[in-house]
Each structure stands twice: as C-alpha cells, then as structure tokens.
Amino acid sequence: MRELSRLRDRIDEIDGEILSLLKKRVDLAVEIGALKRKKGLPVRDEGREEDVYTRLSEKAKALGIPISDMKSIYREIIGMCTAVQSLQTEETGKKKVAAEIGVRKFGKTTAVAFQGEVGAYSEQAVLLYFGPTASAKPCKSLRAVFEMVEKGESEFGVVPIENSLEGSVNETYDLLMDSSLQVSGEINLRIVHCLIANRETQLNDVKVVYSHPQALAQCRRFLESLNCEVVSTYDTAGSVKMVKERRLVDSAAIASERAAEVYGMKVLKRAIEDSLNNYTRFFVLSRYDASPSGRDKTSIIFSVKHLPGTLFSALQEFAVRSINLTKIESRPTRQNPWEYNFYLDFEGHREEVACKEALEGLRKKSTFVKVLGSYPRAS
C-alpha cells in the first residue's frame, strides 16, 4: 500500500504541473487574442489548429500515445483557449466574435443542429467551427435541421452544401430557396474516410460495407479492391452505430475516425478515399444577419427571363465592379419545365458599396433575387 500511495502522490504532483502548464498556455492565448483584435483577425485559425495536430501526432506516436486520444485531449485544450479569446472579444465591446461567426447572438454553450448521428462529419464540422463546448444536436434529415433553427429550438444549424469530388448537395439548395434562415458562416472540412468494424473483425472478414452514398462513391477504388457488397444508408456515423448494435462481424462501415472513437469500434484502414483533395463545404445557418468581417463572401439565388443574353447581362453587374464570382450553378425552378434559378457566390459583403450596387443592378435585370447571406470566408 505504501508503494501505491507513493505512486498516487507522484500522479498528484504531475496533475499540478499539467494545470500550471495549461495556465501558461491560456495566458499566451490571451496575448494572441489581443494581437488578433488589433489586426482584425478572426478568433479561430483552422490552419493553425491542423498544424498543431500534425506536429503533435508525430510526438504522440514516438511516445506511444494513441493519436486519437491525443486529438481528443487537444480538442478540449484548443477549445478552452479559443473560448478565452472569444470572451476577450466580448469584453472589449466587439460584436461577440462577429469577425469569426458573423452573428449577433452567441451563447457560452451554443446549440447547433446537424444532420446525422453523433460522430458524423457534420458533427465534426460543428465542433471545428464552434469549439468543443458546442451542444451538437443530431437530426434525422436536412429539413429537420432547418426546422429546428427556424423554430428557435437550436441557435444554429450546420448543413453540407457541396463536396469537392461529388459536387453540390441539391437538397440543401432547395431548402435554402424556401427558408427564411440566413447563411452566417462556412466551414471547409477535410474528409478522411476510414473502414470501421467491430473489434473482433479482421479486414479479410469483411463481406458487406455500409455508408452514405457519397462516402461509398468517394471510396470506389478501395471498395473494388475489397471485392465486397456495398449498401447505402442515410449517414456515415449511423452506419457504424448499426454495425455495432447488430454485432455484424462480417461487415464494416465507412465513416470518420471520430465515429470509431464515439462507438468504441476498430479502424481497419484509414484514408481509403480515392482522392486526398476531398473536402466538404458546410453552411452555418442562423436566424440573424451576419456583420461584415473584412473577409466575406455572399451567396444569392436569382433568375432571369428565358431570353438570349439575359444571364450575360446579369453577370455583367459583377464584372464591371471587379467582384470575383466563386461559384455559379443552376437548379430547376420546380415551377416550369426547363426554367432555372441560379445559385451564385461572390467575394465581398452585401453591405459593401460595390456589392450593394451590383445587387441593385441585378434586381433590375432579374425576375427574382434572394440574398441567402453574407458571411466570413472559411480558411
């Protein structure tokens, strides 16, 4: 018992040292926050956070610490430091992290709705954007996400809008058309797919793979090499949950590494996607306008008469003012066959003079214009 007490005393000493080091890290975060305010920089720096994870992954590996455990711990640490910087921004009379999320309401514990089960990529986007203190609320469908925010049951919603490999999420565009919600932010999330199974399952045992259709499509080459049956489901993390609950030892699911952590499952193989340039862009939805941050984008929907040159004339409003268009896409109006609405993203905030003039000019040349929102550009 003496030896046990001695070891526990040593652990208590180390815990005290860890807390002292955390205090030093928070103090440095406060200094960094002050510099960011002076330079008008956003609170969150996703690129910096990824650098931290990459650098510490090598260190963790060398020390024999599981990388997933290291990431879980540092999500909390980074979230704590970011929260301190955010509170600083509030106390100095700024618009409450407006430069970061561009909204007028932001609670200490933020309720954020997303589509899918816990461990889904959408939940990962929520935690990346709002930090680990966010209260992520899973929904069965994208429509349910919109409804939760519209009814005030959730402060924000996070929904996928496009994938760099598979293209746009049409359902999200259609819901935006009918909703009064504002787009108040965007997130670019690197998608790393993992093959996940029960702990007793080996790679050569896998006969069936479950996942969302997009995830299956993004891992086509790997699945062909595995020579297995593929089954579409409504969610990536939901597939992991199902494989676990049904105890399917000859099956696996494609989802994020976080999903494996959440459900206590085993990663059979990491990074099985066909392309490393696999990113999903998410919109942050809210009931409030976004304030200018100095690094904004604006998303709109518009339609023009079905006549020669009308689209060209409409887009000229942006060209003559040197406003850069980052995306344009057409979707059926659902009213008349072969007539389309155009979804357009451009650089700048709708309150900026040039953007305001371009939108006024566009309204004169269009039959319909709806501004979905102006918001800070994602890193």
Distance CA 338, CA 370 (A): 20
**Quick one: 24 exposed, middle or buried, by C-beta within 10 A (0-12, 13-18, 19+)?**
exposed
Identify whether the C-beta of residue 266 lies closer than 8 Å to the C-beta of residue 196: yes
Q: How many residues does the chain have?
A: 379
Q: Which residues are catalytic?
A: 280, 282
- Nearest of 153, 160, 121 to residue 135 by alpha carbon: 153
The separation between CA 293 and the C-alpha centre of its own chain, rounded to angstroms, equals: 19
Instruction: Give pairs for 232-237: CB < 8 Å, separation 24+.
Output: 234/116, 234/140, 235/115, 235/116, 235/117, 235/120, 236/116, 236/119, 236/120, 236/121, 236/211, 236/212, 237/116, 237/117, 237/118, 237/119, 237/120, 237/121, 237/123, 237/262, 237/263
**Torsions phi, psi for 213 (to 5 deg):** -55, -40
Number of neighbours of residue 20 by Cβ within 10 angstroms: 10
Tokens standing for residue 148:
């939760």
